[in-house]
Amino acid sequence: MLAPVTSATAAASVGAVPQDRLMDRADDDVAMTEMVETPGGPWKGIVRSVDGRGSDGSRGLPPVSSMTVSGPDGADLTFGPLINEKAVPAAVHVLGVPDPMNFGFCPICGSTENLTREHVPQRDLGGTVMTYTCKPCNNGLGSRIEEELRHWFDDAIFDVRFSGGDVPGKRRSPRILLRTDTEGRVGMILDVGRTDPNLDAMLTSGTGEIRYRIPNPRVWRMAALKHAYLGACLALGEVPNTELAAAVRGVLVASRDGDRGELPPEIGLTSGLRVAQSHQPAHGPTIVLATLVDAEGGVLDWGLSFAGTLFVSWPLDVELLQQAIDRFGAPDPAA
Ligand SMILES: [Zn+2]
């Protein structure tokens, strides 16, 4: 199937974004400028196969998860997910499967007005309607933080501008998906979207400058906290009233109500969370109370697995975790 997801301008770029910056970054690193070399111009080819979100209506994968492109010389170039050297193989062990639930009020801010259907996790990541939140918490908070979680999830850089060659000024491109080819090289794949007609000329000039932003951990981790908090409420079958739960609600509401462009608060509640992705299409129940186990079966973490695509640590009190585990009568995973 041909890709609706990419123009296949697989610019075989030298010196793309170092991977560790995508995984583990300081906040002031989010806006960057780098030289980009494209000897001979962007690498272009015919998409032979592509696997990803939207190519067949599937969700839970990045828009391009893997892709094979045939170049003008007939040779194939195959890209897979961006390789993260720090990644540890892990599996999810199911402790319980929470049902969707309407609490009758917004579990984030407590409002009883304008309750709307809330996807947990967000739809792109394979979420389905699991609960109801008020409109500001659903749409307002969602649009402020969930887009950046999507960029993180997709290994994308965004707000991209190129300059170079004889073309004056900076020219916008769609966001760029970073992928690793079979030889371990990082390639840049332009996502769908409006591309400046001069971009080709710029890249063909051989060298230029690229400015872009990388997903800010303060933002995308807040979205992960939102999903984990709602998942925890569903696993508990109630909205808990501990100090920690109130603190989580407080930072989510503060992120919702802050000035546009203002970063969510930097807090231990989000930086301490383990957020992991599976690079699998959405599968299984939408929310699972789970342990994350390593290859030897040792428990790495307790938390919530979402649609088989995303894992986030349990965001609330340990006592509440035990209460949720007991609710499902799961055997002690450590036993
Ligand atoms: Zn609300």
Whether residues 47 and 100 share a domain: the answer is no
Whether residues 12 and 132 share a domain: the answer is no
Confirm whether 334 is domain-assigned: no
- Is residue 52 within 8 A of residue 63, CB to CB? The reply is yes
Tokens 């001979």 correspond to: 40
Inform me whether the pLDDT recorded for 289 exceeds 70: yes
Bridge partners of 300? none
Whether residues 110 and 70 share a domain: the answer is no
Q: How far is the CA of 315 from the centre of ligand 1 (A)?
A: 18
Average pLDDT value for residue range 176-185: 88
Task: Note the pLDDT of residue 250.
Answer: 95
Whether residues 25 and 121 share a domain: the answer is no
Residue 6 is given by DSSP the state E
Query: Does 84 or 214 have the greater pLDDT score?
Result: 214
Q: How far is the CA of 187 from the centre of ligand 1 (A)?
A: 41
Confirm whether 245 is domain-assigned: yes
> Pick from 213, 234, 253: which residue ends a domain?
213
Least confident piece of the model among 146-155, 272-281, 316-325: 272-281
Instruction: Give the C-alpha separation, 20 to 87, whole Å.
Output: 11
Q: How far is the CA of 233 from the centre of ligand 1 (A)?
A: 14
Name the 3-class secondary structure at 286: coil
How confident is the prediction for the chain on average, in pLDDT? Answer: 82
Tokens 């997801």 correspond to: 5
> Pick from 196, 213, 230: which residue ends a domain?
213
Task: Note the pLDDT of residue 197.
Answer: 81
Q: How far is the CA of 140 from the centre of ligand 1 (A)?
A: 10
Instruction: Give the C-alpha separation, 279 to 66, whole Å.
Output: 10
Q: How far is the CA of 268 from the centre of ligand 1 (A)?
A: 22
Strands (E), 227-327: 275-277, 287-294, 299-306, 310-313
Average pLDDT value for residue range 140-145: 88
Q: How far is the CA of 285 from the centre of ligand 1 (A)?
A: 25
Instruction: Give the C-alpha separation, 239 to 233, whole Å.
Output: 5
Average pLDDT value for residue range 130-159: 93
Q: How far is the CA of 291 from the centre of ligand 1 (A)?
A: 29
Task: Note the pLDDT of residue 258.
Answer: 83
> Pick from 180, 195, 213: which residue ends a domain?
213
Confirm whether 299 is domain-assigned: yes
Give the total number of structural domains in the chain.
2
Least confident piece of the model among 9-23, 67-81, 279-293: 9-23
Instruction: Give the C-alpha separation, 33 to 124, whole Å.
Output: 29
Whether residues 21 and 70 share a domain: the answer is yes
Tokens of 181: 């080819």
Q: How far is the CA of 107 from the centre of ligand 1 (A)?
A: 7
- Chain centroid to CA 275: 9
Which range among 30-34, 117-121, 150-154 has the greatest average pLDDT? 117-121
Q: How far is the CA of 103 from the centre of ligand 1 (A)?
A: 12
Whether residues 209 and 221 share a domain: the answer is no
Q: Which domain holds residue 14?
A: 6-85+152-213
Q: How far is the CA of 36 from the centre of ligand 1 (A)?
A: 44
Residue 259 is given by DSSP the state P
